[in-house]
DNA sequence: CAGCATCCTCCGTGATACTG
DNA sequence: CAGTATCACGGAGGATGCTG
């Protein structure tokens, strides 16, 4: 058996998990989006937009794409006219919701 | 019966607690700082700086000041030469740490 | 050791308009 | 309804040097 390839620079093994997580859920809109998605099974694009005060199409779209790419959000498109798209949290992301609940409670007291 | 007074703009009463919290703990460095402070009773400035990879003096100082102003961090300065300053979490902030622990665990799995 | 003062850059974010 | 495509900008964040 040959020698296994040397492990090259696996930065992610050294990086702080909190910082890694923040790369995925950080930014101005992602946590608010996740939080809104967390109290409904599925949410439509415009419903999401209305419920998150101040967010623009640009940022909502981009944030949802980022979250989807990282596997936190599921996007289901129904082939209808007019278009119909439902967003929901993945199981991976569900495990994060308890943290958001704590933050929410904490936020009430400040 | 008279008409009830119109609700004037009490933004703080309407705002989502999560968003409020994020104004205080959001940004690139604040949560990493809090996280580092959470696993020690007190931490000195340069120790904090060394342990948070990539942070600059500017951002560490500013972030600590913001956190102190919002009552999340306690700063104790000892009158010595050379200077000696200890940072620690306030009780208010301690209540937030369980959320960071969840985020940390979650971050290990991504 | 623990910052502060400046200056500067970059890009996250916003505004606007348009579309299948 | 659910987005895309551009363009522009302000301010969060960074680099550098200095100090009590």
Q: What is the pLDDT of residues A2-52, one digit of tens each?
A: 343 333 344 445 689 999 999 999 999 999 999 999 999 999 999 999 999
Fold of the CATH domain A28-109: Arc Repressor Mutant, subunit A (1.10.10)
Question: Which chain B residues are within 8 Å of A32, Cβ to Cβ?
Answer: 16, 18-19, 22
What per-residue confidence (pLDDT) applies to A14?
67
Element (H, E) at B77: strand B73-78
Angle formed at CA A108 by CA A102 and CA B4, multiple of 5 degrees: 145
Rounded average pLDDT over B5-12: 42
Q: How far apart are CA B71 and CA B91, in angstroms?
A: 9
Residues 16-55 of A with CB under 8 A from B: 16-22, 24-26, 28, 31-32, 35, 53
B14 confidence band (pLDDT: 50, 70, 90)? low
Compute the nearest-CA separation of A77 from chain B (Å).
26
The residue lying closest to nucleotide D13, measuring its CA against C1', is: B59
In the beta sheet, which residues pair with residue B88?
Answer: B74
- Tell me the two tokens of residue B104: 């940390």
% chain B with pLDDT above 70: 87
Question: How many C-beta atoms lie closer than 10 Å to residue A54's C-beta?
Answer: 9
Whether the predicted pLDDT of B11 surpasses 60: no
What per-residue confidence (pLDDT) applies to B8?
40
Helices (H), A1-110: 11-14, 17-25, 30-38, 45-51, 57-69, 91-94, 97-108
Rounded average pLDDT over B30-57: 96
CB-based contact, B8 to chain A, within 8 Å: no
Whether the predicted pLDDT of A100 surpasses 90: yes
């Amino acid at each position: 058996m040959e020698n296994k390839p040397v492990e090259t620079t696996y930065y992610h093994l050294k990086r702080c998990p909190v910082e890694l997580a923040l790369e995925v859920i950080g930014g101005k809109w992602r946590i608010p989006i996740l939080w809104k998605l967390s109290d409904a099974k599925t949410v439509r694009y415009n419903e999401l937009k209305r419920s998150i005060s101040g967010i623009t199409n640009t940022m909502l779209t981009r944030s949802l794409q980022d979250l989807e790419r990282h596997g936190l959000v599921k996007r289901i498109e129904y082939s209808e006219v007019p278009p119909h798209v439902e967003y929901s949290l993945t199981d991976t992301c569900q495990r994060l919701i308890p943290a958001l609940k704590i933050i929410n409670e904490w936020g009430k007291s400040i």
